[in-house]
Each structure stands twice: as C-alpha cells, then as structure tokens.
Chains A and B, each alone.
Chain A
Amino acid sequence: MNMEGILALTGWGGLRWVGPVELFERGPVWLRDWAVGWLPEGAKVWAEGLIPAVAVLAVFGLLFGLATVAERKLLGRIQNRPGPNRVGPYGWLQFAADGVKMLTKEDVVPRSADRVLHFLAPIVMLAPVALSLAVIPYGRDLVAADPRCGLLFFFAVGSAAEVAAFMAGWSSRNKYSLLGAMRAIAQMISYELPLVLSALTVVMMAGSLSLVEIVEAQSGYWWGVIPRWHVMTPWGLAGLLLFMAAAAAASNRAPFDLPEGESEIIGGFMTEYSGFKYAIFFMGEYFGMFAVSGLAVTLFLGGWQAPLAVLEAAPSYGWFFLKLGVMIAWFIWVRGTLPRLRVDHLLNFGWKYLLPLGALNLLVAMVWRGLGGWAFPGAGAVRWLACLAMIGLPAILWGRLLMRSRGWGPRVYRYAS
C-alpha cells in the first residue's frame, strides 16, 4: 500500500508518506488538527470543541436535505410514481427549493398563542436532538464527545423532546395541537422504556455506557468471517427488532406517527406552525431519526466496524454512514408499507408486548453469557438456538395470547373479497 502512497500533512507540521487507506481513515482528524494548529493557544480549546460540532451539524444538515428527497423519491417509487425529479440532477436539489420556500413563507402565530413558548418550542425540540448526535461514534476516532455515560447522555437529552412537544401543543391554543401533544407525550413516555431496555441489554453485555467502548466490544470475527456484532447473537437480533420498533415510535415515524396524524388531528402539535419554525420541527424529527438509527447501528450493527476483515481498507466512517443509510431506507420502506396504528393499539403494543419482551431479552442476554462456558462440539449452535427459542417462543405465544384475549386476528372483509 505504501507504494502508491501520497504526501500528506499529518497533523500540524508533520509531513510524511502515507497510504490511501490511512489517508482516508485519519484524514478528518488530521484536517482538524491542521485547522486547530493555526489558532492562538487560547482559542484552541474552543476550536477543538467547535469544529466537530460544526462538522456534525453540517454533515447531518446535508443528510437531512438528502433524506427528505430520498424519502419522497422512495415513497413515490413504492407507489409506482417517480417522485420529485425536477430540481437539479434527478431532483436531488429539491431540498434546496423546499428550504427557500420554507424560509420565505409567512410565519403565522395565532393571536391567542403564548408567543414565547410558541417561539421556544421548535428550539427545545431541535437542540437536544442535535446534542444527542454528539456522542455517536462515526468512525474509529470520529466522535464529537465521548463522555463516560454516553448512552445515558443520549437518552437524557432526548427526554427534552417531550417537554418541547408539550410546549408546542399547549402554546398554540388549538385543541388539535394539544391533542397531538398529548399523543406525542404518551407515545414517547411509553416507548422510551422498551427503547432503554433493549439498549440496556447491550450495556450489560458490553459492560460500558460509553458508545465508543460499545463499538469496540463488537470488533473481531467469529471464524474469521462472521463479524462479532451484537445483532449476530439471539439477544442482539431480538434487541434490534425491539429497538427499531420502539425507535420508530420515539422518533414519531410511521407507523407510529400518531402525534402528527394528519388525517385525524391536522398536524398534531405542529398544526399552528408555519414557515421556518415548521422546518425546524421537521428537521428535529429527521435528526431524531438519524440519532436513533445511528444508535441502533452503534449498539447492534457494530458501529463503524467493517463486515469483513478484507473490507477494513474502506474508511470506518464510510461503513457507519452506509449502515446509517440502510437504516434510513428501512424507515422509509416501513413508512411506505404499514398503515398508522390507533392510539390504544399503540399503547397496548408498547406496554403489553414490547416492554415484557424487552425485560425478557435482558434475561436471555444473561443466559447467553452464562452458557458461554459450554465446550462440547456444537455448543455454539445449541447455545444460539436455545437463546433464540427463549426469546422467540414467548414472543409468538404472548402475541397470540394477547390477540386472542382481544379477539383480534386477520381481518375478514365480508364484501370486498
């Protein structure tokens, strides 16, 4: 690799020959060191905090724009139509046109609204979500902040979203806004528990609350081919499924987008928002989706780890964003496929199904660790299947029991068939 090496500036003042692998892998860090090196001593500590923050916001700001276009395009394709394809090459600059439209729109505030809270709500919605992006490790050395309690930080700042939803709904002086806010809060509180429970399983197995260490705990390969990601274990697989279901609800994504529910309560707590305030809510929602997707990638899908040893030549942040893209595509696909739930179904699903299974999954993870000492031939497969059965069978049976007690089942349409 060093044969085709190129001259690179490694940090401030250090020039040496590096290979392309190292260049791409370390490039962002060198760039930061180089930029910081220009500054006077007093400004360095500020710059070292600001540069990652600006980088994260810029990358995710762009990703937000692209994700809105991608969402509309994929939803269109799912409905057999092309989606936006006018602005820019294949319509990929549509977000710029949308942004200009949002910026130039009139900012309408209802006369009887509580102006201060009405103004603050979008900010309170967006700022914590942007903060939670800080603790996700994007690459081998690319993390804006690595506090010892990274995961706890993620959930702690995320809890401000409930307050923001309430502020928006209450200050608008609109019954639909308040209904939407109540739905949003009920949903966020209910689904935070399964979310935290499935994340807790990972914390227990990795033995750390730091997201960087959780990713490092997933390095290596079984038999050199299967990555040691948590999703490759039964509890990790179940955890990922639980986490994704809860994450869709926590980020108000379909099929759990009741707080918006445009067919029932207009726009939920965003009803009385227009122009750029609405855009900020929108942005907060997408940032929330990116944050939980990034967290799912970090906790279960190995973070920035490559799926195969030979593929480690590609930069680690490339792998992270590839996985993040897959997660976002999954969210879009789900939105294009599943219809919206009813409020009581939503809460029943969260409290009576996801929560017990999340607790059970914790138990399964303990059993998985306990069975790690088995050493007879085929022990791995037996351990895997036993743990899978431990979570899978109760999931099926409990689901059937709940359905039967409610009299739910596949719907039969008497006249339509």
Chain B
Amino acid sequence: MSVEGAGLIRGFIETGRNLVGSYVDPRRWVTVQYPEERRATPENSRVYPFLVYDGADPEEGLRCVSCKICEKECPPQCIYIVPAQDERGRPRKHPAIFDIDISVCMSCQICVEVCPFDSIKMDQAYAWDREDRFGGLLLHKADLARPNRYYRELHPAEARVVDEHLARERELRESGVRAAVRASLPGSGEPGGGT
C-alpha cells in the first residue's frame, strides 16, 4: 500500500527540482531567448522564394527569363511577372516586373521545382515582420534578387550540383555543340532539375 501523500510529494520534488535546476543549469531550458539567441535552421528549411543572379549586377545578372512557368504553377497565385521589352516592343528574356506577395505565398516550393533555369530558390530568412501588411509584404524584383553566393551558403550541396549543371550548359552553348547534341539526343538537353 502506498503512503499517503507520496505522489504529491514526488510531484512537488519534481517541480522544485526544475525550479532550482533551471537557475543552476541553463541547459535545462526548453526555450531560447529569441532575438539574441537563434536556433540554427535546418538546411532544408524553407520560407519564401528569392531570385538568383550571377555576377555583380542584381538587375542584369538575373537568371530569370520571365518564362512565367512559376506564375502559372503557383497554387495561391502569388507571383506576378511582366516580361521586359526591347526598343522594338519584342519581349526580352528578362522580367520587367517580378513580384511575390509573401502574405499569400504558402512556401510550397513548386515554383522552384518547375523553374527550368534554376533562377528561383527558397530562402531561409523568416523574420518578415513589417509595419505595412500590404505593401510591406509585396516583394519586388529588387527585394527578391540574391547573388548566387547566397544560394551557395544556404544549400551548399544543392548549389554545387546546380552550378556544375549550369557550367556544362554554358560550355556546350559556347562550343556550339549544343544544336548537334540536341539533334542527336532529344530530351537529354533538358535543363533544370537542380538536385
């Protein structure tokens, strides 16, 4: 037979131990002191998309060719693209406007999966608090552009594969063999597929 109050006393000892222990040993803490102290995000975590650019100029170096595939695929339709035009009014392979409304974005990563040019990737920055909940959460091309270096920091392994792939592409394009390869091996020249 159990002693009266033994369960109560065990409970009080447990909570008392926590009470004293959390002063003595901060490793017991189950929370972090957020703004000062942050948990490292896992490599595969994702928040909102960003646009990758090569080189130094975020405008000219954008990989995006404004093919609008991501715009069409985006389930909540938070992407808005207007292609740039040259002086004769023909569409250039460059976006004039590329907006993402992150108040609508559901972080599904489908835009990343469908992009044939490895130009849109998922960001890991999660602090998106803004004073203005409409304009402040509508990101424009300039807000979205990040250098390739940034992508490499976020996803080193994945970025290496993408970089190798893009380099091979460029090599093929420059050596002029591209057309021949295309002709002989239909389907193998399919770009994208970052992983």
Query: Do any CB atoms of chain A lie under 8 A from CB atoms of chain B in the complex?
Result: yes
Interface set of A (CB-CB < 8 Å, partner B): 74, 77-82, 85, 333, 336-338, 395-396, 399-400, 410
Across-interface contacts of B75 in A (CB, < 8 A): none
Task: Closest A residue to B28 by CB, please name it.
Answer: A80
Residue of B2, B14, B30, B31 with most partner-chain A CB within 10 A: B31
B23 interface residue (CB < 8 Å to A): yes
Across-interface contacts of B11 in A (CB, < 8 A): 337-338
Q: In the complex the two chains form, what is the Cα distance from A124 to B8 in whole Å?
A: 36
Q: Tell me whether A333 and B15 are in contact (CB under 8 A).
A: yes
Chain A min CB distance to B144 (Å): 33
Across-interface contacts of A78 in B (CB, < 8 A): 15, 18-19
Q: In the complex the two chains form, what is the Cα distance from A79 to B14 in whole Å?
A: 10
Binary interface encoding of chain B residues 31-75 relative to chain A, with 1 for a CB under 8 A from any of its CBs, else 0: 101000000000000000000000000000000000000000000
Known: A80-B30, A81-B30, A337-B11. A410 touches B2 (CB 8 A): yes
Tell me what chain A mostly uses at the interface: helix, strand, loop, or mixed.
Answer: helix
Q: Tell me whether B30 and A336 are in contact (CB under 8 A).
A: no
B89 interface residue (CB < 8 Å to A): no
Give the total number of A-B pairs whose CB atoms are below 8 A apart: 43
Q: Tell me whether A82 and B31 are in contact (CB under 8 A).
A: yes
| Size bin of chain B's contact surface | 10 to 19
Which A-B residue pairs are the 7 nearest by beta carbons? A81-B31, A337-B15, A78-B15, A77-B19, A77-B22, A80-B28, A337-B11
Known: A80-B28, A81-B29. A74 touches B19 (CB 8 A): yes
Q: Tell me whether A80 and B22 are in contact (CB under 8 A).
A: yes
> In the complex, which residues 115-167 of chain B have their Cβ closer than 8 Å to any Cβ of chain A?
none
Q: Tell me whether A333 and B4 are in contact (CB under 8 A).
A: no
Q: In the complex the two chains form, what is the Cα distance from A356 to B141 in whole Å?
A: 77
> In the complex, which residues 1-23 of chain B have their Cβ closer than 8 Å to any Cβ of chain A?
2, 4, 7-8, 11-12, 14-16, 18-19, 21-23
Task: Closest A residue to B11 by CB, please name it.
Answer: A337
Chain B min CB distance to A336 (Å): 5
Q: Tell me whether B18 and A396 are in contact (CB under 8 A).
A: no
Across-interface contacts of B7 in A (CB, < 8 A): 410
Task: Closest B residue to A85 by CB, please name it.
Answer: B33
Chain A min CB distance to B23 (Å): 7
Q: In the complex the two chains form, what is the Cα distance from A74 to B18 in whole Å?
A: 10
Residue of A78, A338, A399 with most partner-chain B CB within 10 A: A78
Across-interface contacts of A81 in B (CB, < 8 A): 22, 29-31
Q: Tell me whether B18 and A80 are in contact (CB under 8 A).
A: yes
Across-interface contacts of B22 in A (CB, < 8 A): 77, 80-82
Q: In the complex the two chains form, what is the Cα distance from A368 to B18 in whole Å?
A: 40
Across-interface contacts of B28 in A (CB, < 8 A): 80
Q: In the complex the two chains form, what is the Cα distance from A220 to B78 in whole Å?
A: 79
Given contacts A79-B18, A82-B33, 12 further A-B contacts (CB under 8 A): A78-B15, A78-B18, A79-B30, A81-B30, A81-B31, A82-B22, A333-B12, A333-B15, A333-B19, A336-B19, A337-B14, A396-B4
